[in-house]
Amino acid sequence: MALTQSDQTPNKNNNDLEILIVGAGFAGLYQLHHLRKLGFSVKIYEAAPGLGGIWYWNCYPGARVDSHVPVYEYSMEEIWKDWNWKERFPGGQELRDYFQHVDKKLDLSKDIYFNKRVTAAEFDQDNNQWHIQSDDGEFTRARFVLFCTGFAANHYVPDFPGLKDFKGPCHHTAQWPQQGLDFRGKRIGVIGNGASGVQVIQEASQQASHLTVFQRTPIIALAMQQRQFTPEIQQAMKADYPTSHQKRRENFGGFDYDINFQSALAVTPEEREAVFEKAWAKGGFSFWSNTFFDILMNEEANLTAYQFWRRKVHARIDDPEIAEKLAPETPPHPFGVKRPSLEQHYYEVFNQKNVQLVDLKTTPIEQITPQGVKTSDGEHDLDILILATGFDAVTGGLTQLDIKGTQGETLKQRWEDGARTHLGVATADFPNILFIYGPQSPSGFCNGPTCAEMQGDWIIKCMTDLREKGIQRIEATREAEETWNENINMLVSMTLFPKADSWYMGANIPGKPRQMLMYPGGLPLYLTQCNESAEKGYEGFVLTP
């Protein structure tokens, strides 16, 4: 009988490692593959029964990546040369299949412990090692710990009164039942309309007897412009893969877009419209990040993009009142300062008779009842309640763990007044822990696989340099942290991002410090600063033999 990934048992000699990687998504697998080739003693602990990180857990109806291929995949030819995508924006199952292909090519699972969730870690200063505890009660010692937990590892559920009383199935999109859920003929309610909300709403609208969408803030969703790929199309595309993968190394957000240095205000209205139309037709995040350089910096320029988007949306909605709720004349926030979602037929959903939009700004939720959701204008009876309420993003996946540093503080306590890192990879008082795709790195502003490789290469070089120099301990300094934080604050002050209560700013979680959680200077500038530190003997870090 063939073994599933969760049944496989790697070699058990892992209680004393050079490097422990936490998380088996794009970043963790990249680290494992390359560090293993370099001869490090390295393993991965993964909480899920299978590969893929967030793409194991993303199994709700409609789950789909919002970055196009070939950007959203590894650039390693040994992987892409005999892998063909079926869609430009792959769905959750296809991404799971892709990770199985990666595993087959690179033989990774033998060094991965599945169903093994890290719960706590404490640094042993005498031996410069981390003692890591997992939920099975086992302890592991590792010189270095690389956290590859992603920015969406800790889902968030608001404190709705009565939520536990609801009698029907109730699931956050991040904790969807792996066996699925039957929507046919059901009365379904969806709270939240970010990326997962948009996707599940599109699916539920086609099967539910009635769908109630509870909207607090209108989502600025962009046209996905999905396309199907035949094997022949994919083979033709692969001639340009090396160019595309090189472009993403040079792009602000790790995509393969060409850079446009024009101002939206320095061209004629007709020229501006033409640029917008071209980006809209291209689909995906092109309209967000590939029109004019000042869209996210200048309010007047920003408004031109919002107004274009609003015209596109209103043309698709039959009821003018509903159209105004979904795309109001006054922007709910500047365009693009909250992460846009991609949609295929989201706005047409609201033309259906079985779909109701509830505006929570005018009729807020009072409580969840056993039968449904009660707002200030009455009760909405439901059979299924879906919570698309987002994540304690970027920092939450780390602060939920009991990671104790050299001063007796946990990482959560250390970041109580805001995350502080050097280069987005390390925090003072927590030696030998490095983050990939973590706080104050490009993270949520960067295409995931690009960051996994580019930031990952820097981490791999760091590990190699430390080994060659006989360094047992690397730790960021508080002075370097403050300099990095000031750098981020200076960069973000030139943008419109602080004008929205987004997860980028930590503003979606009550009590969370408001700060820009990502590095906003773009991937190329970020990598330049990381490389400069390395070239100067890892400036901003204390190295101990």
Last-in-domain residue among 334, 360, 387: 387
In angstroms, the first-to-last Cα distance of the chain is 49
Residue with tokens 């993003």: 393
Q: How many CB atoms lie within 10 A of CB 273?
A: 13
> Residues 369, 517: one domain?
no
> Residues 411, 468: one domain?
yes
> Residues 211, 324: one domain?
yes
> Residues 420, 468: one domain?
yes
Domain with residue 449: its CATH number is: 3.50.50.60
Tokens of 410: 């946990």
CA distance linking residue 390 with residue 399, whole number of Å = 16
> Residues 170, 316: one domain?
yes
Phi-psi region of 150 (alpha: psi -120 to 50; beta: other; left: phi over 0): left
Q: What angle do CA 122, 123, 126 make, to 5 degrees?
A: 140
Q: Where are the beta strands (DSSP E) in 422-480?
A: 433-435, 473-476
pLDDT of residue 14: 53
- Residue 345 in 3-state DSSP? coil
Q: Is residue 65, in this structure, part of any structural domain at all?
A: no
> Residues 520, 480: one domain?
yes
H, E, C per residue of 10-74: CCCCCCEEEEEEECCCHHHHHHHHHHHHCCCCEEEECCCCCCCCHHHHCCCCCCECCCCCCCCCC
CA distance linking residue 288 with residue 197, whole number of Å = 19
Q: Is residue 58, in this structure, part of any structural domain at all?
A: no
Q: Is residue 89, in this structure, part of any structural domain at all?
A: no
Domain of residue 487, residue span: 5-51+108-154+393-544
Q: Is residue 239, in this structure, part of any structural domain at all?
A: no
> Residues 133, 225: one domain?
no
Q: How far is CA 442 from CA 31, 32, 53, 254, 525, in A?
A: 18, 21, 19, 9, 10
What is the residue-level pLDDT of the chain in tens, covering all 545 positions? Answer: 232 333 333 334 457 999 999 999 999 999 999 999 999 999 999 999 999 999 999 999 999 999 999 999 999 999 999 999 999 999 999 999 999 999 999 999 999 999 999 999 999 999 999 999 999 999 999 999 999 999 899 999 999 999 999 999 999 999 999 999 999 999 999 999 999 999 999 999 999 999 999 999 999 999 999 999 999 999 999 999 999 999 999 999 999 998 788 999 999 999 999 999 999 999 999 999 999 999 999 999 999 999 999 999 999 999 999 999 999 999 999 999 999 999 999 999 999 999 999 999 999 999 999 999 999 999 999 999 999 999 999 999 999 999 999 999 999 999 999 999 999 999 999 999 999 999 999 999 999 999 999 999 999 999 999 999 999 999 999 999 999 999 999 999 999 999 999 999 999 999 999 999 999 999 999 999 999 999 999 999 999 99
Q: How many CB atoms lie within 10 A of CB 240?
A: 12
Phi and psi at residue 342, to the nearest 5°:
-105, 140
> Strand pairing of 365-368 and 372-375?
antiparallel
Q: How many CB atoms lie within 10 A of CB 350?
A: 21
Q: How many CB atoms lie within 10 A of CB 233?
A: 14
pLDDT of residue 260: 84
| Residue 464, burial from CB neighbour count under 10 angstroms (0-12, 13-18, 19+) | middle
Amino acid (one-letter) located at 53: G
Q: How many residues does the chain have?
A: 545
pLDDT of residue 9: 38
> Residues 482, 401: one domain?
yes
Q: Is residue 241, in this structure, part of any structural domain at all?
A: no
With beta carbons less than 8 A apart as the criterion, state whether 335 and 502 touch.
Answer: no
> Residues 140, 213: one domain?
no
> Residues 356, 475: one domain?
no
> Residues 527, 426: one domain?
yes
Q: How far is CA 68 from CA 226, 228, 285, 312, 472, in A?
A: 9, 12, 9, 22, 41
Q: Is residue 81, in this structure, part of any structural domain at all?
A: no
> Residues 188, 306: one domain?
yes
Q: How many CB atoms lie within 10 A of CB 324?
A: 14
Last-in-domain residue among 387, 404, 438: 387
Q: Is residue 246, in this structure, part of any structural domain at all?
A: no
When divided into structural domains, the chain yields a total of 2
Which residues lie below 8 Å from residue 177, measured CB to CB, with a gap of 6+? 59, 169, 171
Phi-psi region of 504 (alpha: psi -120 to 50; beta: other; left: phi over 0): alpha
Amino acid (one-letter) located at 87: E
Last-in-domain residue among 387, 420, 439: 387
Q: Is residue 414, in this structure, part of any structural domain at all?
A: yes
Q: How many CB atoms lie within 10 A of CB 267?
A: 15
